[in-house]
Amino acid sequence: TIKCIKPLKKKKKKKNLNKLKIKPRQALPGEQMEVRLHRNLLQAAWLWALLAAHVHSCPDACSKCSGPENDQCEECRAGWTLHNKSCVDIDECDTELAHCLPNAYCLNTEGSFKCRDCDAACVGCMGSGPARCRKCATGYRLMGPKCLDIDECSDRVLACHGLDEICVNTEGSFRCDCADGFIRKSDVCVRKQLPNAQEKGLFEDIQDEEVEVLQQMFFGVILCALATLAAKGDMVYTSIFMGGVAAMAGYWLSDRGDRLISSFLKGR
């Protein structure tokens, strides 16, 4: 009998992976920067969490504290004082720390103070408004608890002395305005001139009737003087007086006749 002999198979050698040396791939420059940045961010986050667990913010009034509450203050900022481990506002207006001008008052604020002007009616004050005045200013008088404005225009004594002036009351004072048709020149109210009007002479505004009255007054004075002299028996003055009376009568009669004729013609 013939026996077939199978060829022997070669045994494959198993690779020992433990003995294999794998060399890591070198990172590129951009990858190295990214890894480095990521590592720094992790470290920063860890440090921030560590600090947040032990660090806290103090209240606004505290400059140093052991906790975030107001009763955990150890030192206070300016304008505050420590009382039972709490910072309490200092009222500078009740102390000598506040320095305001004579016509101003002190207003306390949180941690500080402000100076505010007194009311216009006051000379020195203890607070806001005309009811907190120490003394009333000129043009004001104390009426009840307040300093109120004096109405100079309603007082018995005339505030404006000019006949063509009108008194206008203002807050704490008054002013004198010129009446309608007048303007102020050199502190005096004078009548306004019409546009393009020429300046007139002294007697140009006198009406005809006024001229007649003046003439009669003038002749009357002359006749009175002549009558006085004629009464003494002087014939010369007596003759002049009689002639003056006759002339005056003739003038008056002729003027009256002209007036009658003029009125008659106008009536027609």
- CATH at residue 170: 2.10.25
pLDDT band at 160, cuts 50/70/90?
confident
User: Is there a domain that residue 242 lies in?
Assistant: no
Residue 263 has what pLDDT? 46
Q: Which strand (E) or helix (H) includes residue 219?
A: helix 208-230
Summarize pLDDT for 164-222 with one digit per residue, the tens.
888 999 998 899 999 988 998 888 888 888 666 555 555 555 555 566 666 667 666 67
Amino acid making up residue 72: Q
The half-sphere exposure of 216 on its side-chain side, counting CA atoms within 13 A, is: 11
Cβ(174)–Cβ(165) below 8 Å: no
More confident residue, 59 or 249: 59
Rounded Cα distance between 99 and 81, Å, is 20
The label of the residue with tokens 């500080």 reads: 112
Query: Of 141, 173, 191, which closes a domain?
Result: 191
Asked whether the predicted pLDDT for residue 80 surpasses 80, the reply is yes
- Check whether 244 has a pLDDT greater than 90: no
Residues 6 or more apart in contact with residue 207 via CB below 8 angstroms: none
pLDDT digits (tens, 9 = 90+) for 123-133: 999 999 999 99
Residue 93 CB neighbour total at 10 angstroms: 16
The distance in angstroms from the start CA to the end CA of the chain is: 192
Number of domains in the chain: 2
What's the one-letter identity of residue 232?
K
Beta bridge partners of 175: 168
Among 160, 175, 191, identify where a domain stops: 191
Domain range spanning residue 81? 56-89
Q: Is residue 223 in a domain?
A: no
Q: What pTM does this model have?
A: 0.45
Say if 112 falls within a structural domain. no
Q: Is residue 71 part of a domain?
A: yes
171 part of a folded domain = yes
**Does some domain include residue 23?**
no
In the beta sheet, which residues pair with residue 122?
A: 136
Asked if pLDDT for residue 266 goes beyond 50, the answer is no
Question: Where among 191, 216, 251 does a domain terminate?
Answer: 191
What pLDDT was estimated at residue 162? 80
Q: Is residue 46 part of a domain?
A: no
Across the range 152-158, mean pLDDT stands at 74
Q: Is residue 180 part of a domain?
A: yes
